[in-house]
Each structure stands twice: as structure tokens, then as C-alpha cells.
Structure 1
């Protein structure tokens, strides 16, 4: 049976350090089925893929059978689009180089494509989100870390080895805060991630040790980006300064990125975006202040239009429509 292109579906899988979410998506970006399994349960990747297959197989039957599925797209940390492998991902249980796309293709019997999670987000934005119709844009993911997907002339920039676009690890404060994993000093990720927000809050609480703050009502171990946001909304001065400082660092970094590729837009995505104007206003201000005049007031700075709960699935599934 030959299924018309308009009725074809894609499976999107996003592999996170804790959970893997998946869905079956049509070419309009409507998700017909959602599910999730734990990423950490199996020490062997083959056992993980078996559980994934058992979880997704009923969904395939529910949408009409295998003939409706065009392929599988996967977003994963350290995912290499060229090779289809996950290379030395520090937060996944499987060590070394994992040929994930070929393992999934062999198990499911569908063509499979793999990329890193931020690049998948960029493809998703281009197909379904704020970058629809754009050919030059950057997606910055602001979560536990800072990821990025760069699109130039309608194509994701992968570089010669598949790992281009690690803007979160560029140095913005030389000799600055030491990264908890890489050891680099002053990278964007150490300041503009949810983890960075927490570290900034702790630093400011120590700096202003005699200043009252709602943040002081929380044990240090409980202070995270969500707590900082809640306190900022209540008008807490230190919590608000956290966002001013974070926005300054992020804005300066984005100015560098603009002068590198002159995008039409920079799209911010991830948990930190829930802070809304608290993060957007200082970021936009410092980005514009640090741009050359020829770049000023040309680049849209916007939040993603994709629902956070669906974006990972949509971004991964979007890879399928590029498969030959």
C-alpha cells in the first residue's frame, strides 16, 4: 500500500538525560500520539532501544500501521547529524560512541536521522514555529545548559565534523566563572543557563550579605531558577538583579552571534524563557548596545512559538521530512 505524502507521519524522539519523550507527528506539526520512557533505566543501549520499540509499536498500530510512517528523527545530546552517532555524551548512561541512528533503524525498520537537541529545535522552529519562512536565524536553548542551532541560507550549520554551533561554550567573560563540567572559565553557559541563574543568585546573596531578600527564606540547596523567578515577581531586589545581570551577559553574547552571521532573528527557547520580560528586556537592551550600527534594530529577538512540552518532539520529527 502506498500512502500519499500528505498522509505520511514522522516519529520524533528526544533523548534527555532523565527521560526520553516521543510522538507521532504529521507534516503540519500536529502530534497524534505522545509518550515517554526513562533514559536511565538500561545500562546497555540495546535494552533501551528495545523498551523504546515496545513503547512506540502500539502507537504505530494506532495511527494506521507502518506504511504511514516515513521515518524516525532523534534529538540527543552530542548527536552527530553526519554519522548518526552519539559521541561521548556526559549525561547519558552509555559511554563512548553510540551508533544510535543505525541501531534504531535496524530495530524499527524505518530510515532514521539524528542530530543534537538544539539543532533539532532549530529545524522544528523552521518548519513549525517562529522561524517559519526564514532562511537565516539562530535558536538559543536556555535550559540547564545553553544550546544553539544556527541556520544560514535555510540550512543548519553542522561544520566539517557535525559539531558546529556550540555557542553556549564560547567565552564571554575571560577568566570568569568556571564551568562545572568543561572547566572552561567564563563561558556563556555558566551565566545564561538555569544553572547560571542559580549560581548568580548565590553570588549576589553573598555579595549583599546584609541586604534583606526573600531568597534568604530558602535553604541554599533549594534555590534554583524557578525560586529566583518567583522572588523576582514579588519585587525582590536581589532576584531582579540576577535577571539584569543574566540579561547583560546574554545580550553581549547575542551581539557577538549577530555580528558573526547577521541573522534575521534570534529565537530563545527553554525553561529560562518563562521569566518573560524579566530576561527579555535586559537581554535586548544589551544586545543592541553592543552591536555595530549596521546591525542595530535589524534582528528580531523573540521567544519560541512552540509549546515547550511539544518542541522536542516536533524538532526531532522535523528531521524526517529532510530524509530522501
Structure 2
């Protein structure tokens, strides 16, 4: 039951396929959750109209006077300008002034940042990073996203795009990224997409029996690799050991850059549990200077996966 005497934030997460939204109170409780297909709207103007129509019943129920503002997370979202800039997985090309368009349509202030930064702010307000002033959030999903908080402040850089740790090069001259073509980036290895690539490479380079060989190579994804690894398949387990090694080496670099209290991992890849966490922790510690060793917590997010994007976006409102 909504309390019309308190304020709420509207959290909106714009994904390449779907947009999720919800109304959130200070305790991180979500009401009026919903979604709409992002990729249905070729024009940003049509999208903003559809978003307003979808949310109008919720806004009427709460009372727009009780909404403090709108927080939005989006790919390539710029916190300084409120624009989405050259997002490769959205229909809207170029620089899109979405925060101003939403403000004009809803009559509410709107704050935008990229989706991984929003997740970091959400973790700081509602999740495992409560009370922390220095931490790094890493999202391991289809890609690798990140948000860096230092001295209690989100690091956004001079142009709003700082924190792209997934695109740092961890294997110079290594595997080309499927979208950027940059060789050897962390995302090319430690994402769900990268895990599938590693499995296919190991199968091609070995004659060892594996249940992975029972699958059409085009059907091998991170879930298939996980299922096979859990059932004891040696090649599938080696995929996770190798992935954990690369992730751990990258995390060691990140620790020595900002000396965080914790690195918080989120996303579908971490469901592999110890299969990936043991080699990640081992190789992170092995590659740290002694002054950094055994100081950094490596922990899982406490945000519910289904709601994390909405919570992260809404947290931008309370932060402002």
C-alpha cells in the first residue's frame, strides 16, 4: 500500500530490448513495476510518449506531487548532459537529449547516467555497499559493465563516461571484441558471450572428450557451459578456471588503481559460484602488491537481479 505522505522516485532502466520501470520509496521497496519494449520505437519521440502512457496510471495512483524525480539508466548515458550518446544497441542514433525530453513530457526532473553507474549507486543506497565510500561494482552479463565509487563519489570523468573497465585491455593482442574489434578486452573474455567463445576455442584446440561436443557449436552459450561444468565436464570447468584467471588479473589492476574496500560482482555469470569465484580470487590476490593483499572483499551484489536496474536508476533521484 502506497503512503501518500512520503516521497517516491521513479526508476527507469532502458535496455536494448526492454525498458523496466517502477516507483521506489526510500527503503528500496518497489511498487507499480512494469516494462515496455524499447526496440519497438524507431523514434525517440514515440518512445517517450509510450513511456508516459505506460506510467500514467502509476503516477495518478501515487500523485505526481509525491514523486521527487525520475532516475534513468541507459547505455552510453551521460550524467552531465542527460543525453544518450551513440549507443550501439539502441535504435536512436547520434546524441539523444532524453532527460530533457522526459522532463518536458512528465513535468518532473530527470537524471540520467549509464546503466552500470546506476547499478553502483543502487548498491550503495540499497545493497552490499551500504556504508562504503570506496568500492567497484562489476556487472558480468552479456557484456562487462562497471561503476567506480571513490571517497563516496561516483567516478564519471570529465566527460561523463569514466568507468568502462570492461573495455580495458587485459590480453594485449588477444581475442578481438565482437563489436569494438579491440583485441584482448576484459569483456571479450569475462562476459557470458566471452565464456561461450572460450568454450569453442578449447574444443577446437583439443581432442579431449567433452559433453560440450554433443551441442551444435552455435548453440553453446554460458548456460550450457555452466551445466556441463557442474556435471563434471573437464573442458567446461577449464573454461571457468581460465575466465576466473583473466577476471582476477583484471581485478588486481583495478584494486591497485583505486584501493577499494570491496569489489561487488553482479549478473548472470556469477551464478557459476565457486567455479568462477575461486580462480578469480586466487589470481586477484596473486597479482596484487603486498600492501593490497587480503584487504579487498570480493562479494556478490545484494540487489535482487530482477529489480536491480530499477533500484539503481531510482537511487539517482535520492542522490541528487
Give your verdict on TM over 0.5: yes
SS in 2 for 1:28: coil
SS in 1 for 2:242: helix
Matched residues in 2 for 1:146 and 1:187: separation? Answer: 10
Matched residues in 1 for 2:276 and 2:141: separation? Answer: 13
SS in 2 for 1:7: coil
Deviation, structure 1 residue 322: 2.1
Q: Deviations over 1:66-110 (max 9, x none)?
A: 111110000000000000000000000000000010011111110
Q: Deviations over 1:169-213 (max 9, x none)?
A: 1110010000111111101010000110000000011111x2111
Q: 1:108 maps to which residue? A: 106
Deviation, structure 1 residue 279: 1.1
SS in 1 for 2:238: helix
Q: 1:13 maps to which residue? A: 12
Q: 1:153 maps to which residue? A: 151
Matched residues in 1 for 2:219 and 2:225: separation? Answer: 10
Matched residues in 2 for 1:33 and 1:134: separation? Answer: 30
Q: Deviations over 1:119-146 (max 9, x none)?
A: 0000000000000000000000111111
Deviation, structure 1 residue 258: 0.1
| Gap regions ≥5 residues in structure 1 | none
Q: Deviations over 1:206-249 (max 9, x none)?
A: 111x2111111111111101111111110111110000000000
The reply to whether residue 61 of structure 1 matches residue 60 of structure 2 is: yes
Q: 1:197 maps to which residue? A: 195
Matched residues in 2 for 1:33 and 1:279: separation? Answer: 36
Matched residues in 2 for 1:106 and 1:241: separation? Answer: 52
Matched residues in 2 for 1:16 and 1:228: separation? Answer: 25
Matched residues in 1 for 2:158 and 2:209: separation? Answer: 52
1:115-130 equivalence runs, <5 A = 115-130=113-128
Output the TM-score relative to the length of structure 2.
0.98
Q: 2:313 maps to which residue? A: 316
Matched residues in 2 for 1:70 and 1:200: separation? Answer: 46
Matched residues in 1 for 2:319 and 2:45: separation? Answer: 26
SS in 1 for 2:72: strand
SS in 2 for 1:180: coil
1:1-324 equivalence runs, <5 A = 7-62=6-61, 64-208=62-206, 210-323=207-320
Matched residues in 2 for 1:217 and 1:110: separation? Answer: 54
What CA RMSD, in Å, does the superposition of the two structures yield over aligned residues? 1.1
State how many pairs are aligned. Answer: 318
SS in 1 for 2:39: coil
Q: Structure 1 residue runs of 4+, over 4 Å off?
A: none
Matched residues in 2 for 1:282 and 1:7: separation? Answer: 46
Matched residues in 1 for 2:251 and 2:300: separation? Answer: 14
| Gap regions ≥5 residues in structure 2 | none
